[in-house]
Amino acid sequence: MKKIATLFFIAFISGPILFTNCSSDDEIDPGVAPEIPPISTMIMDFGIISADGGRVATQNNWGFSVINVAFWNAAITLTFTVPVLSFAESFNHTPTFDPDIPGWVWEYDFGENYSARLEGVVTTAAVEWTMFISQDGGFTDFNWYSGTSSLNGLSGQWILNKDPQEPQPFIQVDWNRSLTGDVADIRYLNITPNSNDNGSFILFEVADFGDYDRFYDVFSNPQNNTTEIEWNSTNQNGRVKDLRHFGDEEYHCWDEMLEDIDCPT
């Protein structure tokens, strides 16, 4: 009788152990970590601002174009510094799989006193990204931005919150890449709640054909007005159209020296 009881006890305690080992063998292989979208999906090319024609003459058309683009560049620079630094650093680190998400995690320090946790969760439709940033002696795990990228990595979106002091949606970044991996277009859309500028945007596009290879559309929601800019990034000539500013729907051109000219017919 004692022997039977002992065998029963051994069987009882070994059962869960065998079950646990079986469960462990059935765990799903997380596979390969998703590729982080390139930093160009977050940072727009503002190259037209630094164009240099070599002379200072009548540059109204180019100058007006630059003012419109520079306004967005200044607004973005002030609020994107920490998010961009955190994003740029992520490419220097190897992720680990976190079964609790379940997804991939990049954790690292950056800047002088910041730390980051970038999470990438692969679904059947896309990769979902979330960036949490902490500051020593300051805020902890602030969700500064999140987004999605298609499974082929050719399109996606970022949503940036303004900052830990104003934790509200600020800019939506929509982007598309060509098959070569270069950014084909990127748009910054103001999504600040209860703001007059909500709905304003700047769209940047790249083209490999025609007289111009860079395009900016700048839409002001308060003025319900769009400024259309076409620019040759090599020769630096271009043209701009803006009904509110010029009083017509014609293009107004500048040459390689950035000087105003009559548009070619």
pLDDT at 50: 86
Tokens 């500048």, located at residue = 254
Model pLDDT, residue 113? 96
Instruction: Note down the domain range covering 252.
Output: 46-261
| Burial classification of residue 155, based on how many CB atoms lie within 10 Å of its CB (0-12 exposed, 13-18 middle, 19 or more buried) | middle
Q: Is 73 part of a structural domain of the chain?
A: yes
CA distances from 3 to 6, 8, 10, 14, 17 (A): 5, 9, 11, 17, 22
Q: Taking a C-beta distance cutoff of 8 angstroms, is the pair 89, 106 a contact?
A: no
* Predicted pLDDT of residue 58: 62
Cα(212)–Cα(233) distance, rounded to whole angstroms? Answer: 8
* Residue-level pLDDT at 27: 66
Q: Is 206 helix (H, G, I), strand (E, B) or coil?
A: strand
Q: What is the pLDDT along the chain (265 residues), one digit of tens a residue?
A: 444 444 333 343 344 433 333 334 456 678 899 999 999 999 999 999 987 655 555 679 999 999 999 999 998 988 899 999 999 999 999 999 999 999 999 999 999 999 999 999 999 999 999 999 999 999 999 999 999 999 999 999 999 999 999 999 999 999 999 988 889 999 999 999 999 999 999 999 999 888 999 999 999 999 999 999 999 999 999 999 999 999 999 999 999 999 999 998 8
Let me know: does 252 contact 260? Beta carbons within 8 Å: yes
In a domain, 32, yes or no: no
Q: Tell whether 233 is covered by a domain.
A: yes
Determine the 3-state secondary structure of 157 from DSSP. Answer: strand
Residue 20 lies in a domain: no
Helices and strands (H and E) in the chain: how many = 3, 14
Count structural domains, the chain: 1
CB 104 within 8 A of CB 30: yes
Asked, for residue 114, whether it belongs to a domain, the answer is yes
* Residue 5 belongs to a domain: no
Q: Would 157 be classed as within a structural domain?
A: yes
Query: What DSSP letter does each residue of 20-34 carry, written as one string?
Result: HHHHHHTPPP--SPP
CB atoms within 10 A of CB 157: 18
Kindly provide the residue ranges of all beta strands, DSSP E only, lying in 71-224, ordered along the sequence. Answer: 96-98, 103-110, 114-122, 126-135, 142-150, 155-163, 166-177, 183-190, 201-206, 214-220
CB 120 within 8 A of CB 127: yes
pTM, to two decimals: 0.86
Can you give the pLDDT at residue 182?
A: 87
φ, ψ dihedrals at 243, nearest 5°: -60, -45
Assess if residue 21 is contained within a domain: no
